[in-house]
Amino acid sequence: MPDRPGSGAPISASGTVHWVGTGMSTGPSGLRLLCNRAERVVLWDRTAERAVERLAALGLAGRAEVRALDDRALDGAVRAGDVVVSMLPAAEHPRLLRLSVQRQAHFACTSYVSDAIAEQVPAAGEAGVVVLTEAGLDPGIDHLMAHQLVARAQEAVGDEAESVDFTSYCGGIPAVPNDFRYRFSWAPFGVLAALGSPARHIDHGAERVSPRPWEAVRTHRLGGEDFEVYPNRDSLPFAAQYGIPDGWRLRTFVRGTLRNAGWRAAWSEVFDTVNSGDQQRIRSLAKELAVRYPTTDADRDRVVLSVALDVRAAGGERWQGAYLLDLTGDETESAMARCVSLPLAYGVTRILAGALPAGLSRGAESAAEADRWTDFLHANGLRSVHSSTVSTPREAGA
């Protein structure tokens, strides 16, 4: 069994990575990175034959071992120091984490930290297990951008600010908008169900809850193009996660979803159904929409991620910074697969290098670590555009 250093330090990585699931977010960029960096990669799918087909489709034939996924087989294969990467639906993550903790193996996924994940973190830390979460696109790359912006603004302006606006919007959209302004690349019911979840955020200095997030849609202009954005989930805990100083007075703090212009009008039928609360109707509509608006091999997807921060200090100093990632998929890989699997795979290489502590890590937990991730992503085709300005009271009055 790999050695474990002192308390709180991670179990030494064995060099073996178990990639569990091969859905649409498993891109060749991420999986190829692990095939190049790990000593051994095992790809788990419903059948070994399907895993072989997926490897071939990704241009990675013969680069990884393949296994048919069942609990007994996976349980028998995972060893101490291995890394288990869950590409299964979020509801499956807790059982894979439980297995990882039992086997003293590390765990990685792209999803938010659920209660079922959080309750296992203490045991994972005690066992020397790294639990890497929120390491995809959103959550994931957005976290990197937020940490970097906050750190740079704090260095420029300090720990006190009278007005702070933070926005983070991300969307997977059709590169060529259709009449529905969307194509389904993941479970349609999940897309509709998310609309039924209230969104908490800060607007005009006050905490607000949007029971029906689509009613809070706003126009958001990026690079001369109009999009529609709306808040989702609970944005407020991320202020602390991003290291927002206590002395910054938040006027706006929102994390949300981005869609093509015209989305709200095109989805009026969907909103009526979601608003009814009738789960049978929602599931029926989800199935119908999946047939009407699928993502086909001929379609090209587009990922747009915008994170911006505007900080005004009491003395008149003002710092503004923003990141914009705008990527269109091609015939070799969808934009979404690249944006999800590549940062996740890089996070796994950080586990293999022993660079992450035992216990919970959400993507990059600091600006310095975010810089490392961003440098790697930029060098591997995920380039974002960064801009920032600093103005003084004299400049403001000039």
List the catalytic residues: 138
Q: Do residues 8 and 360 touch, judged by C-beta distance below 8 A?
A: no
- Cα gap 318→336, rounded to integer Å: 34
Contacts of range 74-77, beta carbons closer than 8 Å, 24 or more positions apart: 74/18, 74/20, 74/44, 74/99, 75/99, 75/103, 77/18, 77/42
238: alpha, beta or left? (left if phi > 0; alpha if psi -120 to 50): alpha
Place of tokens 């100083």: 245
Strand partners, 320: 310, 389
Tokens of 204: 């005009």
Amino acid at 84: V
CB atoms under 10 Å from CB of 73, counted, come to: 12
* Residue 290: burial class (beta carbons within 10 Å; 0-12, 13-18, 19+): middle
How many C-beta atoms lie closer than 10 Å to residue 207's C-beta?
12
Q: Which uninterrupted H or E stretch holds 394?
A: helix 393-397
Q: In sequence order, what DSSP letters do the residues of 83-144 get, joined into one string?
A: EEEE-S-GGGHHHHHHHHHHHT-EEE-SS---HHHHTTHHHHHHTT-EEEES-BBTTBHHHH
Find residue 387's DSSP bridge partners.
322
Q: To which residue do tokens 């799918």 refer?
A: 45
Measured CA to CA, the distance from residue 5 to residue 210 in angstroms comes to 47
Largest CA distance in the chain: 71
